[in-house]
Amino acid sequence: MFKLWCTLCTSTLFLLFNFAISSLAIVPTTPPLPILPLPAFSQLKWQQREIIMFCHFGVNTFSDSEWGTGKENPAIFNPVGLDANQWVNTAVEAGISLMILTAKHHDGFCLWPSKYTDHSVKRSPWKNGKGDVVQEFVNAAKARGVDVGIYLSPWDRHDKRYGDDLQYNEYYLAQLQELLNNYGSVREIWFDGAKGSNAPNMSYYFSDWFYMVKELQSSINIFSDAGPDVRWVGNEKGFAGSTCWSTVNRTSLSIGNASIENLLNTGDPRGTDWVPPECDVSIRPGWFWHKSESPKKLSQLLEIYYNSVGRNCLLLLNVPPNTTGLISDTDVHRLKEFRSAIDTIFSTNLAEKGIVKASSQRGGKVGGFGPENVLDSDHIWTYWAPRDVDVKDPWIEIRGTSEMLRFNVVRIQEAIGLGQRIKRHEIYVDGKMVANGTTVGYKRLHRLDEGIVHGQVVRIRIRESKGLPLISSIGLHLDPFWHPNEQ
């Protein structure tokens, strides 16, 4: 009996001892639940690229037009100095990691020697008909670690099969298989609904196309007016809506439908699908190179940057090669200026000099979700989260001196890996509101209307959100190119 009692007693003591040890050990707080829908892995990777490049190139480059007729003689295509390495180097110097090439535009001329048509580089004098622009583009990109995207125009003004639903869809699918089977990894494919008003009636078999694309390429994002992975932003100016949700209902979208342009621009806070927008715009007035045109001014490019990347969007900037087959010096120069301006503005975060505080925080000091997380550089999966009960008016603030906190740009980023949440926010400097807005998303930039401000406390108040706001990064920046009174 005594022995049994002793065994019980020691095992109880042992259990008590273990319990004491484990309550001393720090058990990290778990992350909060996500709010659906969430980005897929490839969409999250895409979003972090911020700027990607479009290259419009083809017979239009040589005929000085934007929409070819389809009757162009392939003999006009002769870019004697073509060097895709120069295109890729231009992109790399601008910090761009994905480039999309127009493998075929509306004129139907193919930049690769397609088996299924003669209307291609095969019949051009360039490299005696032995050239392949798609291959040269892919090789050059691979050599510099840049990812590749393809545009294959649905509308085709050359091919006789266009207008016959079955024949043309078979042709289109055959070309998709050529492009997605033979040129390695493709990260984005672009479908649009552009079409002249007199074009023959044609139903595109989008479901067949999309299934085929996903079958042939595992990490690709499909862009179209209707997604499924990336949606059009609804205009070609490079401007997202000042309210911009990555969420929308795919069932509300259709391709080539002008009545949904507003919805594309702003998204839908109740949307059940993650389909973030892409802002396509050209560095020049046209999409193709024209001798008479020149690139936009730096201030215009920055305006586009703030209204696209700064509004939870991706900027797809078109930089067209010229008739020599090279990107013009003027454009190369402007892109360098653009990158250098972005680096000048954002490489210094004045908030890092201050002390960060918040209305509350999830978890304890160690391994928790404290406000200091908004100042680390690895920003997507480390974030500030308020306590579960702090739903009324959560805030986060930076304290410093007036000399330290002198800025004209505020950057806020949400931890979108757990869903896009913020619906309305306000920014105060020493109690005075200097900016406010609706959505934040991956990145929201506020260029202050009143120019440079300074103060000791910069507070961001989250006035409305879906569940708790999760903020991954905050920046206070000085943009020397921003002169609001001169705009």
Ligand X SMILES: *[C@@H]1O[C@H](CO)[C@@H](O)[C@H](O)[C@H]1NC(C)=O
252 binds ligand X (CB under 6 A): yes
Q: How far apart are the first and last CA of the chain?
A: 93
Q: Which amino acid is at 187?
A: R
Binders of ligand X among residues 432 to 461 (CB under 6 A) are 436-438
3-state DSSP assignment of residue 413 = strand
Q: Which CB atom, from 126 or from 183, has the smaller least distance to ligand X?
A: 126
Can you tell me which of 133, 260, 304, 351 binds ligand X, judged by CB under 6 A?
260
Q: How far is CA 123 from the centre of its chain?
A: 37
Can you tell me which of 48, 177, 300, 324 binds ligand X, judged by CB under 6 A?
324
93 binds ligand X (CB under 6 A): no
Spatial distance between the Cα atoms of 409 and 477, rounded to a whole number of angstroms = 5
> Applying CB under 6 A, which part among 151-159, 250-258, 359-367, 389-397 lies near ligand X?
250-258
Instruction: Draw the binding track, 168-207, toward ligand X (x: CB under 6 A; -: no contact).
Output: --------------------------------xx------
CB of 199 to ligand X, least distance (A): 7
Can you tell me which of 218, 259, 292, 377 binds ligand X, judged by CB under 6 A?
259
63 binds ligand X (CB under 6 A): no
Spatial distance between the Cα atoms of 384 and 464, rounded to a whole number of angstroms = 16
328 binds ligand X (CB under 6 A): yes
424 binds ligand X (CB under 6 A): yes
Q: Enter the DSSP assignment of 384.
A: B
Spatial distance between the Cα atoms of 280 and 151, rounded to a whole number of angstroms = 13
Spatial distance between the Cα atoms of 357 and 395, rounded to a whole number of angstroms = 9
Q: Which CB atom, from 31 or from 193, has the smaller least distance to ligand X?
A: 193
Q: Which CB atom, from 31 or from 125, has the smaller least distance to ligand X?
A: 125
> Applying CB under 6 A, which part among 48-56, 111-119, 142-150, 323-331 lies near ligand X?
323-331
CA angle in degrees (0–180, nearest 5) for 163-169-173: 150
Can you tell me which of 322, 349, 373, 413 binds ligand X, judged by CB under 6 A?
322
Q: Which CB atom, from 417 or from 437, has the smaller least distance to ligand X?
A: 437
Q: Which CB atom, from 49 or from 446, has the smaller least distance to ligand X?
A: 446
Q: Which CB atom, from 42 or from 324, has the smaller least distance to ligand X?
A: 324
Spatial distance between the Cα atoms of 218 and 252, rounded to a whole number of angstroms = 26
- How many beta carbons lie within 10 A of that of residue 390, not counting itself? 18
Residues contacting residue 367 through CB under 8 Å, at least 6 positions apart: 26, 28, 29
Can you tell me which of 134, 326, 418, 474 binds ligand X, judged by CB under 6 A?
326
Tokens of 388: 């579960």
Spatial distance between the Cα atoms of 316 and 414, rounded to a whole number of angstroms = 22
Count, residues near ligand X per rule CB under 6 A = 22
Q: Are 245 and 262 in contact (CB under 8 A)?
A: no
Q: Which CB atom, from 373 or from 439, has the smaller least distance to ligand X?
A: 439
CB of 53 to ligand X, least distance (A): 16
What string of H, E and C letters represents the secondary structure of 125-173? CHHHHCCCHHHHHHHHHHHCCCEEEEEECCCCCCCCCCCCHHHHHHHHH
Can you tell me which of 30, 329, 378, 485 binds ligand X, judged by CB under 6 A?
329
- Give the footprint of ligand X on this chain (CB under 6 A): 200-201, 249, 252, 254, 257, 259-260, 268, 270-272, 322-324, 326, 328-329, 424, 436-438
